[in-house]
Structure 1
Amino acid sequence: MFFNGPSIDKYIRRKDRQARFRGHGHGRGARGGASDMTRTVAIIGAAAVPVGKWQTPAGAEEQVLEHELLAGLVLDAVADAGVDRGDIGSLAFSQCRPYTAQKYFATFMAHYLRLPCSGTVSEILGNGMTAGLAFEQAANDILLGRSKVALALGVNFETATSAAEHMMSSMRAVGDVDFQVPFGITPIAWYAMDAARYIHEFGSSREALASVAVKNRAHAALNPLAQFRKPITLADVLAQPMIVEPLGLFEVPPRSDGAVCLVLAEEDVARGLGRPYVRVRARGFFHEGAHQISEVPNDMIALASAQTAGRAAFAAAGVTPADIDFAELYAPCTIVEVLVSEALGLVPRGAGARAAVEGETSLGGRIPICTSGGLQSRGHPAYVTPFYSFVEAMEQLRGRAGPRQVANAELALTSAELGNYNAALVHVLEAVR
């Protein structure tokens, strides 16, 4: 094996953390035995449609139906996992957008797929964290011994819904109905306030923040699942119309449709399949007890929930941010990627934008971030967006990411959020080959 530069340092750290992990006795692999309290969860299969426009207008002669699209992915994901449909004990769905005509979607899909389940069949809603919480539900059914194999899955259709309906349903109504909604404050507006504060506090610039969009588009150009794949330059980003100053069109997420199915299993099942899989090594969660923009004075760009959730995940995994090989972050706007990468300790505070400018967070850099293309370019089908992060992490950790493959990737980090990172969910994932 050949190493150069920082790679040899990562190799040494990797051996150290493997020893620490074994010493902590996490999971069956570490202890050599099994008990109800030492189950570990693995991701063993995945399937996803390219992010883009799938929803058909209500009056169209032919309709693309959410359940039909998702059912095909279930077949593909189960085949990828190498398990039988009879092994599946739980279904954890991210809730559909309100525009989806079929209500009680989870139980409808259990019928449509002819999948009787002895674990649970559930439908989860948690704003941008929706798919992350559905993933947690599937994992918890395994950890609690309710299922050996569980599906975490969902579909998000929104692109053919009118802009006015989408704005009222998904943008204006998410804020505090007493304090924020009457003034028209939208998520992009509060992210823009974060950007303005960051530029002021750390002497950064719009150009530095915009470099994140350029980097993410370069990654997306290598990802067949990405919504926007045409390379762009910094000049292209700066030339776009302003959405909320200082964030322009290419620095905010598009409206997107998407669908994903993940297959999770107890690690003994994964090990018995004799093929590479991804171990869920640790997770961390924290809700700071605030909604979107808090009326309590605080450091608005510290992302305290991400800091706390990240520390919990690293401690549970027995690793540090320096051990992470790449990260898939839930970051709707360029400024959010900068702030959460700092909050999680992947880059120093105040250095996130500069890290993008200098190539540290690009493929081939010290800590590649959003190798899928990020939410600005891979796309943002909000209720399933965290699922796409797990898909990218799985592809990388199984060595199947093609031209965007992170060399020697063994540890990944994913994040999901509620609001302006008022809550954060962080997972540390590990390759098992």
Structure 2
Amino acid sequence: MSRAVAIVGASAIPVGRHQTADDVALQTLEHEIMTRLVVEAVRDAGVDKQDIQSLVFTLPRPYTRQKYFHTFLMGQLRLACRGNVMEVMGNGMTAALAFDQACNDILLGRANVALALGINMESAVSATEHMMSSMRTTGDVDFHTSAGFTPIAWYAMDAMRYMHEHGATREQIAAVAVKNRHHASLNPLAQFRKPITLDEVVAQRPIVEPLGLYEVPPRGDGAACLVLASEEVARSLGRPYVLVRGRGFCHDGSHQISDVPNDMIGFTAARQAAQDAYRQAGIGPEQLDLAELYAPCTIVEVLVSEAIGLLPHGQGARAAAEGQTRLGGRIPISTSGGLTSRGHPAYVTSLYNYVELAEQLRGRAGERQVKNARFGLATGELGNYNAALIHVMEAVQ
């Protein structure tokens, strides 16, 4: 199709604790947060409310009090749409799929303006309840769940394998956390903004060896809204916008951890999806100016950065320790602070990745601005990158 999609507006709340416990007299209501973000994002875009013909929501957590959230919010917004109004679900890829579906509605001509939006509330739910739910929903009931595997355990095994195969050190992998916290210190949307040192990262209590507290994602609440439009509409607004240049998806046929012998740290789905996205965009990884990666742990950022061609195979941890992925380095990665410091409200995490690219590629990232940023990339994943969804973006001034 000849149509193209652009990001023209964005809004988000700082990642953190927003959910209120059941016994609190004054409750934080999800729809009050979300309606405000829609208004802010639409104002940022400069479009008219009646132009919006599709809204694609991330499925809220089961802890969200208001069910059928998408149609309830339509009533709050007093919107009537002929394109699509729906919720999508895809585990960690949920928000990336919402963005992708909103793009599709524009590409198919169902809408000229579409919203990708969602809210993730979980911080008032006990860690025990959340972890039991996470193990049961992410794992294979015949193996992972009964063995007590958690998602962090998958990544810890990746780290051990990577250190064994490539001689990477614990400190090199931990350097990713230091870099991300520095980026987060410059981001008003980040959950944790106090700078940390390498010694502090290494000294933290282990979560699953060799990953410590600062190398895994915190729990938190978040909400974001992106306004997408056809490129024709984007041009008519007379403002900078971000063009979606390429898209790639791949599922490798496994569930979290493959039961078929394979390269467990190769992230083949990410590699294939990236190749497709680059081919469609007409660029190579060497032309990227920054990347926002869905990387729940330090080791995941290392592995996916190698898989998508940002860094040489086996050199990702060393490159992070040398400062190559830091602001001002050769290829800044996770300029928002990444999942370990910006935060990881799982069902909307990828929306924050797109918000960061929208800010960077429109030259609005403030102290963390990548100079003359033209091309950026965002990744989404399922479990342990058994599947990847990747978008390549371009700045249009």
Same fold (TM over 0.5): yes
Give the gaps of 5 or more residues in structure 2.
Answer: none
Report 1:273-292 matches (<5 A): 273-292=237-256
Structure 1 equivalent of residue 353 of structure 2 = 389
| Residues 25-64 of structure 1: pairs in structure 2 closer than 5 A | 37-64=1-28
**Which letter does structure 1 place at the counterpart of 2:180?**
N
Does structure 2 retain, via aligned residues, the 8 Å contact 1:172–1:184? Answer: no
Which moved further from structure 2: 107-116 or 211-220? 107-116
1:43 Cα deviation after fit? 0.3
Q: Which of 69, 72, 89 pairs up with 2:53?
A: 89
Task: Give 2:234's aligned residue.
Answer: 270
Equivalences for residues 161-310 of structure 1 within 5 A = 161-310=125-274
Q: Judge conservation of contact 1:328–1:392 (CA < 8 Å) in 2.
A: yes
Q: 2:84 aligns with which of 105, 120, 129?
A: 120
Percent identical residues: 68
Aligned-residue CA RMSD (Å):
0.6
TM-score normalised by the chain length of structure 1: 0.91
Matched, 1:80 2:38: no
- Equivalent position to 1:151, from 86, 109, 115: 115
TM-score w.r.t. structure 2 length?
0.99
1:156 Cα deviation from its structure 2 partner: 0.2
| Deviation per residue, 1:247-271 (Å, 9 max, x gap) | 0000000001000000000110000
Contact 1:172 1:185 in 2 (8 A): no
Is 1:337 the counterpart of 2:290? The answer is no
Whole-Å separation in 1 of the counterparts to 2:229 and 2:353: 18
Deviation at 1:111, TM superposition (A): 1.2
- In 2, the alpha carbon distance for the partners of 1:252 and 1:166 equals 16
- Specify the code of the residue in structure 1 equivalent to 2:68: Y
- State the AA in 1 paired with 2:142: D
Query: Contact conserved, 2:243 with 2:393, CA < 8 A, in 1?
Result: yes
Q: Which amino acid aligns with 2:329?
A: G
**1:49 and 1:260 in contact (8 A); partners too:** yes
Distance in 1, matches of 2:126 and 2:182, equals 30
- 1:421 is displaced (CA, Å) by 0.1
Shift of 1:362: 0.2
Instruction: Indicate yes or no: 2:388 matched with 1:424.
Output: yes
Maintained 8 Å contact 2:135/2:145:
no
Counterparts of 2:137 and 2:120, CA distance in 1:
18
Higher Cα Rg: structure 1 or 2? 1
Q: What SS class does the counterpart of residue 364 from structure 2 fall into?
A: coil
Distance 1:270 1:170 in 2: 40
TM-superposed deviation, 1:354: 0.5
Equivalent residue for 2:280?
A: 316
Q: Does the CA contact (< 8 Å) of 2:14 and 2:188 recur in 1?
A: yes
Contact 2:134 2:150 in 1 (8 A): no
Residues 273, 388 of structure 2: 8 Å contact kept = yes
Name structure 1 gaps, 5 residues minimum. 1-36
* Alpha-carbon distance in 1 for matches of 2:200, 2:135: 26
What whole-Å deviation, never above 9, does each CA across 1:299-347 have from its counterpart, x for those lacking one?
A: 0000000000000000011100000000000000000000000000000
Match of 1:350 among 308, 314, 322: 314
1:170 shift after superposition: 2.1
Aligned residues: 397
